[in-house]
């Protein structure tokens, strides 16, 4: 083990990952990348450029299956921060033209204009419908040590197929493992027996009929909750209740004109106006404890730590309580996880949402991402665990560094760089500017309202930290 510059622990990984020292049992085996989201596909681009054999396994029936779930949402970062440099080189060599660098794509545009053409370059090395259910090392459970690093990785898929790999780049994201409704991190009683919609339904588009005229409860205090609430407020005759654990919604409202991210404040100001006008009913101090289905209705009961109960009866529930990484697929590997975030312990202080917004996370790479299990790297949004500050550009630099290490190019692996201005990558003011310019009807902020609400100055400053990227 060694200490990094931040005083945190990193692992000596070099001896296991240079090609010259690849164990005989691993010779000829590919690197397996899990997940064909933007970061998994960027890893594939890096592996291609370095001439390393790989296989990319994607659970969905299309690439970027998780982004497809929020395809109607416009991201905060313009194209210039959304395209990996190596992927761009490969695509341009194939005759692709990059989209307008200043444009803010929707999730669907990210897929159609960038990720799908990129995946096509890799041919049958991308396998769709290939859900990884477990990773181990051939002949080794987590406890057995001697010779462990010489043993190939064993990957089991949902259909029972087993594959071997010399290294694993796990870019499976967190979108498929949302947090529960229950306020203490445990599922609320009865949660598994009622229909709960995940964050960011397409309220004004494909999912409109699910919500129109139905009393909807939105649980959560982040941007996803705010986005869904503003969209629901556009549906006539649709009662809306918003439940948060906090005693007031100051954090979600942000600082209005005083907010460090002006349109984060504007988003909050719109939401606040709806709450104050009575369009949205806000329930504070709401600790979801139990849900009961009663015919078409769902009764949602809160019990706060003092035992005080309150309840609301609704027809739909949207859970916007965030995401957590599913480390269970790697349960037989030796992981060193931060007890709070579930990232590596070396990465945790660099991404702590109490200290950093998306634009202020320092560059990091293979050293911060290494686990005691040589050759296994969780990258992309999964690498951040429960921290909500992840950006695609950060993930691209992660996989550039990891793949350089797998190629034995330690100089490149450790030369980590990230050029993200603190503003201009993750602020919703860009979304508003674009929507005003072209009159977009969808998006994560302003376009959700037919007419912008007037901005007012709000006294309370925004709380530091929190999500800025959805």
Ligand X SMILES: Cc1cc2nc3c(=O)[nH]c(=O)nc-3n(C[C@H](O)[C@H](O)[C@H](O)COP(=O)(O)OP(=O)(O)OC[C@H]3O[C@@H](n4cnc5c(N)ncnc54)[C@H](O)[C@@H]3O)c2cc1C
Q: By the criterion CB under 6 A, which residues form the site for ligand X?
A: 34-40, 57-60, 64-67, 70, 73, 75-77, 131-132, 171-173, 175-176, 200, 329, 380-381, 390-393, 395, 469-470
Q: Are 127 and 57 in contact (CB under 8 A)?
A: yes
Q: Shortest Cβ distance from residue 350 to ligand X (Å)?
A: 16
Q: Please, what is the minimum distance in Å from the beta carbon of residue 389 to ligand X? A: 9
Token pair, residue 191, equals 């949660």
What is the smallest separation between the CB atom of 433 and ligand X, expressed in angstroms?
A: 14
Give alpha helix (H) positions in 257-358: 262-277, 348-351
Tokens of 199: 């964050």
d(CA 17, CA 407): 8
CB of 311 to ligand X, least distance (A): 30
DSSP string, 182-205: STTSSPPBTGGGS--EES---TTT
Copy the structure tokens of residue 209. Answer: 């009929």
Nearer to ligand X, 111 or 314 (CB): 111
Nearest to ligand X of 219, 393 (CB atom) = 393
Structure tokens given for 435: 């929507």
Angle, CA 198 vertex, CA 183 and CA 32 arms, to 5°: 105
Tokens 């702590």 sit on residue: 352
Task: Compute the radius of gyration of the chain from its Cα atoms.
Answer: 23
Euclidean distance between CA atoms 48 and 400, whole angstroms: 12
Taking alpha carbons only, the member of 264, 261, 302 closest to residue 282 is 302
Query: Cβ closer to ligand X: 149 or 202?
Result: 202
Q: Nearer to ligand X by C-beta: 267 or 381?
A: 381
Closest CB to ligand X among residues 5, 437:
437
Q: In angstroms, give the least distance from the CB of 312 to ligand X.
A: 26
C-beta closer to ligand X: residue 82 or 367: 82
CB of 96 to ligand X, least distance (A): 20
- For residue 327 the two structure tokens come to 């480390």
In sign, the C-alpha dihedral spanning 139, 145, 151, 152 is positive
Give the count of beta carbons closer than 10 Å to the beta carbon of residue 352. 17
Which parts of 278-323 fold into alpha helices (H)?
A: none
Taking the complex as a whole, how short is the minimal distance between the CB of residue 358 and ligand X, in angstroms?
7
Give the nearest distance from C-beta 347 to ligand X in angstroms: 14
* Cβ distance to ligand X smaller for residue 317 or 381: 381
Which residue lies nearer to ligand X by CB, 300 or 416?
Answer: 416
Tell me the residue number closest to ligand X, measured at CB. 37
């Amino acid at each position: 083990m060694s200490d990094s510059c931040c005083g945190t622990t990193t692992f000596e990984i070099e001896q296991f990952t240079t090609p010259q020292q690849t164990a005989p049992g691993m010779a000829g085996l590919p690197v397996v990348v899990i997940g064909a989201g933007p970061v998994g596909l960027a890893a594939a681009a890096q592996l291609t450029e370095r001439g390393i054999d790989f296989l990319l396994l994607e659970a969905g029936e299309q690439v970027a299956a998780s982004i497809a779930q929020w395809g109607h949402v416009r991201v905060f970062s313009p194209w210039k921060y959304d395209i990996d440099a190596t992927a761009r080189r490969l695509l341009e060599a194939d005759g692709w033209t990059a989209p307008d660098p200043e444009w803010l794509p929707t999730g669907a545009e990210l897929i159609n204009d960038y990720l799908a053409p990129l995946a096509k370059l890799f041919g049958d090395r991308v396998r769709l419908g290939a859900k990884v259910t477990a990773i181990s090392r051939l002949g080794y459970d987590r406890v057995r040590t001697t010779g462990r690093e010489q043993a190939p990785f064993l990957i089991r898929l949902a259909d029972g197929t087993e594959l071997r790999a010399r290294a694993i780049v796990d870019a499976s994201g967190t979108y498929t493992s949302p947090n529960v409704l229950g306020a203490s991190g445990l599922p609320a009683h009865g949660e598994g027996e009622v229909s709960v919609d995940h964050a960011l339904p397409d309220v004004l588009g494909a999912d409109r009929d699910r919500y129109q005229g139905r009393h909807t409860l939105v649980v959560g205090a982040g941007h996803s909750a705010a986005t869904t609430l503003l969209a629901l407020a556009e549906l006539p005759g649709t009662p809306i209740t918003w439940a948060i654990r906090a005693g007031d919604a100051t954090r979600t409202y942000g600082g209005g004109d005083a907010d460090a991210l002006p349109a984060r404040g504007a988003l909050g100001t719109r939401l606040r106006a709806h709450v104050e006008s009575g369009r949205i009913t806000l329930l504070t101090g709401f600790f979801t404890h139990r849900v009961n289905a009663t015919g078409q209705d769902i009764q949602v009961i809160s019990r706060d730590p003092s035992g005080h109960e309150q309840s609301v009866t609704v027809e739909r529930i949207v859970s916007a309580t965030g995401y957590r990484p599913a480390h269970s697929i790697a349960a037989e590997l030796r992981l060193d996880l931060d007890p709070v975030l579930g990232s590596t312990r070396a990465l945790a202080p660099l991404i702590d949402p109490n200290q950093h917004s998306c634009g202020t996370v320092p560059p990091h790479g293979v050293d911060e991402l290494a686990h005691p299990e040589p050759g296994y790297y969780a990258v992309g949004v999964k690498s951040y665990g429960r921290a909500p500050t992840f950006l695609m550009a950060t993930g691209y630099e992660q996989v550039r560094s990891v793949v350089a290490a797998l190629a034995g190019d330690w100089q490149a692996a450790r030369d980590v760089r990230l050029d993200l201005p603190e503003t201009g990558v993750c602020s919703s003011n860009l979304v508003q500017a674009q929507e005003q310019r072209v009159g977009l009807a969808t998006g994560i902020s302003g376009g959700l309202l037919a007419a912008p609400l007037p901005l007012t100055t709000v006294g309370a400053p925004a709380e530091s930290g929190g999500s800025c990227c959805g």
